[in-house]
């Protein structure tokens, strides 16, 4: 059998790991401009990896299905993760230079974390799933605590590490239970060995619940969300941007694949859990964010709320749900890129904006920035002309198709409640008095290009919705045909 080098299994992952190690060595042995050279190299490496992932899409790994898998769903999420990582490296480089946190390990850790996410999105086995999760989260723990001189950063790192290790332990226990009762760790084999059963036995249900708890922790769905606001607030803002944009995507992809692939026939067993997580997240995301004064905490609660909406697509277990989730996740990533680019570049009196009140009267000083924030906030709230509306729209359609009417109604209600705090930011920017007249901006040309593209996509989505919606429906059709 002839093999092209590009056809090798995990070729993108291989390139990424070797490249990350090479960049680590380059960072170690260069003395001048270490940070900017390593972060530029990381961006180039990630672009190459993204292209290779796309080229590799049509290869079937029938023999290797034991550990990894390829499908258009996986391909989409992997490319989205790579794009998110590229964006978060670019938008944060100016911030790191400004606060003099020029450690070349940051882009390297982001690369390793991205590698872990690629692995876990493509995993087809409990073992590769666990290793992917560990590789991803270990790099994230270090990133959260990277600012050593700050007490808050260290606290958030410790908190994230302890809770993350706990959730990994629970997940691993679930894996062992499922292995014990099905005799396999491979997703396909688990599917075949439980397909003969009428009802799942107690051991498998325990394992399923434990793994779902672990994954819910990683996506920060409600009863397991406690770490999110603290970690978002404590970590340096650029790291928070990475946390908000990328790891959620991979965890969402995994929770979808884990529920629908091995346990697709037993959706009755897990759909209640997912519905509970979803309602809880939407509720807390809309209520708890109202009282926040810090922008980062507000965005943390907002991301919890978004996860609630994304989980509706899983709870409805139909093709429309997958389509809605694909569209929603894409738009979620774009909105987060936009808002974090702005937060990472807006300063008052040599400090970056942290509090919501810091934005008061921003429209009089920086009209372009405030219109970008306003568009992003309206989109997050799901107000019609912007992209966020369509994300919620397709998710609710999926819920209605699955006859989960109450879930759709609750979703709309919580979405109205959450509109309050999104609109409050717009009100503060446009109708409050300008307190501090000297806002400064610190935005690189690349970052402003990214901001421009994300805002453009959010606003122009209504004119060309078919571009993204077609991707979504193709993926969902393929997902349910296999």
Binding site for other proteins (CB under 8 A): 9-10, 17, 21, 24, 66-68, 103, 105, 108-109, 112, 115, 119, 127-128, 131-132, 134-135, 138-139, 141-142, 145-146, 148, 157, 179-184, 193-194, 203
What tokens appear for 331 in the block?
């738009």
Minimum distance from residue 344 beta carbon to other proteins (Å)? 21
d(CA 189, CA 194): 9
Q: Which is nearer to other proteins, 125 or 317 (CB)?
A: 125
Tell me which H or E stretch contains 69. none
Q: Which is nearer to other proteins, 23 or 312 (CB)?
A: 23
Which residues on neighbouring strands pair with residue 347, listed in sequence order? 352, 440
Best CA proximity match to 126, nearest among 211, 29, 21, 232: 211
Q: Which is nearer to other proteins, 180 or 264 (CB)?
A: 180
3-state secondary structure of 421: helix
Minimum distance from residue 142 beta carbon to other proteins (Å)? 4
Minimum distance from residue 52 beta carbon to other proteins (Å)? 17
3-state secondary structure of 434: coil
Query: Is there a contact between 136 and 171 (Cβ–Cβ < 8 Å)?
Result: no
d(CA 150, CA 279): 36
Minimum distance from residue 86 beta carbon to other proteins (Å)? 20
Cα-atom radius of gyration of the chain, to the nearest Å?
22
Q: Which is nearer to other proteins, 142 or 359 (CB)?
A: 142
d(CA 370, CA 425): 10
Q: Which is nearer to other proteins, 104 or 386 (CB)?
A: 104
Minimum distance from residue 420 beta carbon to other proteins (Å)? 40
Minimum distance from residue 33 beta carbon to other proteins (Å)? 17
Q: Which is nearer to other proteins, 143 or 322 (CB)?
A: 143
Best CA proximity match to 235, nearest among 298, 143, 158: 143
d(CA 66, CA 62): 9
Q: Which is nearer to other proteins, 64 or 393 (CB)?
A: 64
CA 253 vs CA 86, 139, 172, 238, 393: distances in Å? 19, 19, 19, 23, 20
Minimum distance from residue 193 beta carbon to other proteins (Å)? 5
């Amino acid at each position: 059998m002839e093999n092209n080098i590009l056809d090798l299994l995990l070729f993108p992952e291989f390139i990424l790991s070797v490249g990350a190690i090479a960049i680590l060595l380059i960072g170690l042995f260069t003395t001048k401009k270490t940070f900017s050279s390593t972060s530029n190299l990381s961006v180039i490496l990630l672009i190459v990896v993204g292209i290779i992932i796309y080229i590799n899409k049509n290869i079937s790994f029938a023999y290797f299905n034991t550990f990894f898998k390829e499908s258009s769903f996986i391909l989409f999420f992997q490319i989205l993760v790579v794009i998110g990582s590229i964006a978060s490296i670019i938008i944060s480089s100016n911030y790191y230079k400004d606060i003099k946190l020029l450690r070349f390990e940051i882009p390297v850790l982001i690369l390793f974390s991205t590698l872990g996410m690629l692995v876990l999105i493509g995993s087809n086995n409990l073992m590769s799933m666990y290793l992917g999760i560990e590789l991803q989260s270990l790099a994230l723990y270090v990133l959260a605590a990277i600012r050593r001189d700050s007490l808050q950063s260290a606290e958030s790192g410790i908190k994230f590490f302890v809770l993350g290790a706990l959730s990994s332990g629970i997940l691993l226990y679930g894996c062992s239970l499922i292995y014990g009762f099905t005799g396999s760790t491979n997703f396909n084999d688990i599917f075949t060995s439980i397909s003969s059963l009428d009802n799942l036995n107690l051991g498998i249900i325990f394992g399923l619940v434990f793994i779902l708890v672990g994954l819910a922790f990683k996506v920060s769905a409600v009863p397991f969300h406690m770490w999110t606001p603290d970690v978002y607030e404590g970590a340096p803002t650029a790291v928070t941007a990475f946390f908000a944009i990328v790891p959620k995507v991979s965890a969402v992809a995994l929770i979808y694949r884990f529920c629908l692939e091995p346990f697709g026939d037993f959706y009755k067993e897990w759909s209640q859990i997912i519905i509970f997580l979803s309602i809880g997240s939407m509720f807390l995301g809309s209520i708890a964010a109202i009282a926040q004064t810090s922008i980062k905490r507000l965005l943390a609660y907002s991301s919890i709320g978004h996860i609630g909406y994304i989980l509706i697509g899983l709870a409805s277990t139909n093709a429309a749900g997958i389509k809605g989730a694909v569209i929603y996740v894409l738009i979620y990533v774009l909105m987060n890129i936009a808002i974090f680019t702005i937060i990472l570049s807006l300063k008052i009196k040599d400090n970056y904006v942290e509090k919501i009140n810091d934005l008061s009267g921003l429209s009089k000083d920086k009209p372009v920035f405030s219109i970008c924030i306003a568009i992003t906030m309206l989109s997050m709230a799901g107000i019609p002309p912007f992209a966020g509306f369509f994300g919620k729209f397709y998710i609710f359609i999926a819920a209605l198709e699955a006859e989960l009417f109450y879930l759709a109604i609750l979703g709309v209600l919580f979405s109205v409640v959450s509109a309050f705090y999104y609109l409050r930011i717009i009100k503060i920017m446009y109708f409050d008095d300008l307190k501090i007249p000297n806002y400064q901006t610190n935005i690189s040309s690349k970052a402003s290009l990214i901001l421009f593209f994300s805002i453009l996509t959010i606003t122009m989505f209504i004119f060309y919705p078919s571009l993204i919606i077609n991707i979504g429906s193709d993926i969902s059709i393929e997902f349910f045909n296999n």
